[in-house]
Structure 1
Amino acid sequence: MKSAFALCLFLLVGMSGNSYAAERSPKHYVYFHSRGQEGRGIQADKSLRDTRFSGAQIVYTWRTLEPSKNRYDFSAIREDIAYLDSIGKQLWIQLQDKSFTPRRNVPDYLLNDPRYKGGVIKQSMLSAPERDPNKPPTDDEYGWSAKIWEQTVRERYQKLVQQLGKEFDGKVAGINFSESSIDIGTENADGTTTFPDDFNPQDYVDAMQENMRVLAASFTRSTPMVYLNFVPGEWLPWDDKGYMRSLFDEARRLKMGIGGPDLMPYRKSHMAQTYGFFREYPGALVKGMAVQDGNLRQINPRTGEKNTVNDIQDFAEQYLELDYIFWAKDELSDEMLKELSDEGT
């Protein structure tokens, strides 16, 4: 197989809009869920200086980028671009409205002004695949998601996206939304889910599509990407409401990149959903996925053993044909880096 860490040429062909062609030897980015105080976590990271990595994918929360209504603070992004430029690397933005801890990643005005109807909805990550099954449930595993299906909330989010595009389109490698999965509602004995009164899966899908259109229009030189993994109210292939397919179809129409968290080779729960749709996605358009915390702890159904870097690399290149792999900083142990080094020789 082709080495994922050989120097590769990533061909960007200006077809129309956000359309790209790529030789399928993916670019590698270090994923940071936090930049640390004043960006020190980024600047202190030694793996970023490794020639196998093209740059950093960094999470920026809506809350930090818009500290108060209509007051935007993009200083952290500017600082990170300047630092990465100085070492010959690129920035990839992950715009985060969801959280998987008690922290809310939206501005306070969304929470306090009644026109935003609470601004967020409570969710849980107890079923997340990256969760350590030996860890007892605790309150810190409950997070929050912005109510993007509420028009007032969605308009504010879209304004943020547009402001980011005005300043950073063409200055960053790409930008992606947080994942489509939102874990809410109560599962019933018959397998159905009872959702909160203020949530409807179709409204959520419609809102995501509208946000995708704004993202694609705001970033025409950098790669716009939507993270699609699961949609509430549907479980493929048994319960297909067309939600996920409609999101992939819209991404295809917009010629934008698709991505997702949790790169876990041949995982059954993902094969009929994200991975299956990735296989169908046009080869001329960008695809990327993240190796999140805990992904290497999962069992590969093909081997019966825990995932290895080689397993992930093979699956990413040969099965999904990815253009980008985002490696979580917390997964880049010395042992893993050594395995990466061995792969590249």
Structure 2
Amino acid sequence: MTRFLAPVALLAAGMLLGSTTGHAWDKPSERYLDVHKTYSGASCPLEADQIAHFVYFARDRDAIHDHPLLKNERLAGAQIMYSWRQLEPARGRYDFSAIQDDLVYLAAHGKKLFVQLQDASFSQAFKPVPNYLLTLQFDGGVSPQFTDEGRLEGWVAKRWNSAVQDRFAALLAALGAEFDGEIEGLNLQETAIGITARTDASFSPEKYAHGLKVNLRALKSAFPTSTVMQYANFMPGEWLPWENKGYLRGLYDFGEETGVGLGAPDLIYTRKGQLNHALAMMHEGNYTTPLGIAVQDGNYIGTTNTLKVVDDHENIVPVLHAFAKDFLKVDYMFWGNQKPYFEQDLLSCL
């Protein structure tokens, strides 16, 4: 989507950024575009760090069995996604057996479990919430997500709906009662969604920003011991640095205030979108709460959301690691279990 600001607003924004970024004021959206070049000399093996490295399996739980991570001392454990629908098959009736099984298996190999709680999908066929939420009482429970081209691409729980928030808080409380202090952590999915007031009249960016904070309070209350984290990458209704409504910055500030860590999917250091949003938030803040970054499908070859295999490619894992360690200063890295790059590029550097 093309976005415009009046010349006076553009000048003001440039002057503001220029006060902290030197000559970058004339192109504030490109102020971090060349930072990765600083780390171009990084090589294998990866430098020592204090980062907890996890392998991300999405919903492919079975893949952890006999996986190379179990024998690698530098990999702390597995990050696995579990859907709200899976964990609450009926209202108030919870089934955490999958989490328990994975926790026990990993622990037997000296590894930890990091839970990713799914309430959004990128599948037209899969609504990741329990059936009881898909009723009038919860205004349908979910909203359809659309691509920029207007194509249906999935569904997301109505995070801005107070009735849905109450049920989500109940799920978090039940999870915390069972697993707080047992799992390494739990993260909520990304804040970026393909929804506007035109596609759902109940939605507004302001309601959404408020609803996320409600959920974060419930998350921290449920898990006072284990790490908790929100993947906060983009927020509807703003596009940084030009259209800054304070939504994303406000979420990072709120996480620091409440003790909820912040993270993001997609470690892509050559795209202005990522650089001006989550990556900028991490770099520019001074956090006491944990930060995390995910290397997801496509990130191993400098793109996103692709399963294509590029045989003749540069191994950028050392640069990804150095950028995350020194520029973002993260506490967690979640490396996607994408073939062939996980074993070919990452394991060869560990």
| Interval of TM-score (by shorter of Structure 1 and Structure 2) | 0.7 to 0.9
1:26 deviates by 1.5
Paired amino acid for 1:41: A
For residues 1-345 of structure 1, what are the structure 2 equivalents within 5 Å?
5=46, 25-36=50-61, 40-102=62-124, 103-111=126-134, 113-125=135-147, 142-185=153-196, 194=198, 196-298=200-302, 308-329=316-337, 331-333=338-340, 336-344=342-350
Paired amino acid for 1:256: V
Contact 1:177/1:227, CA 8 A, preserved across alignment: yes
Contact 1:288/1:324, CA 8 A, preserved across alignment: yes
Paired amino acid for 1:27: A
TM-aligned CA distance change 1:342 to 1:80, over 3 Å = closer
Give percent identity, aligned residues only: 38
1:343 deviates by 2.9
| Secondary structure at the counterpart of residue 29 of structure 1 | strand
Q: Which moved more, 1:46-55 or 1:241-250?
A: 46-55
TM-aligned CA distance change 1:45 to 1:299, over 3 Å = closer
Contact 1:81/1:91, CA 8 A, preserved across alignment: yes
Distance in 1 between residues matched to 2:213 and 2:72, nearest whole Å? 37
Which runs of 5 or more residues in structure 2 are unaligned?
1-41, 305-312
1:298 deviates by 2.7
Distance in 2 between residues matched to 1:55 and 1:307, nearest whole Å? 23
Distance in 2 between residues matched to 1:45 and 1:200, nearest whole Å? 43
Give the aligned length.
Answer: 300
Paired amino acid for 2:50: S
1:248 deviates by 0.8
Aligned equivalent of 2:23: none
Which runs of 5 or more residues in structure 1 are unaligned?
9-23, 128-136, 186-192
Distance in 1 between residues matched to 2:202 and 2:315, nearest whole Å? 39
Distance in 1 between residues matched to 2:184 and 2:45, nearest whole Å? 19
Question: What TM-score comes out, normalization by structure 2 length?
Answer: 0.80
Distance in 2 between residues matched to 1:307 and 1:159, nearest whole Å? 44
| Secondary structure at the counterpart of residue 239 of structure 1 | coil
| Structure 1 consecutive aligned stretches of length 4 or more whose deviation exceeds 6 Å | 1-4
CA RMSD of aligned residues (A): 2.4
Distance in 2 between residues matched to 1:151 and 1:220, nearest whole Å? 23
Greater helix percent: which structure?
A: 2
Contact 1:263/1:291, CA 8 A, preserved across alignment: yes
Aligned equivalent of 2:5: none
| Secondary structure at the counterpart of residue 210 of structure 2 | helix
Distance in 2 between residues matched to 1:196 and 1:180, nearest whole Å? 17
TM-aligned CA distance change 1:55 to 1:197, over 3 Å = same
1:183 deviates by 1.2
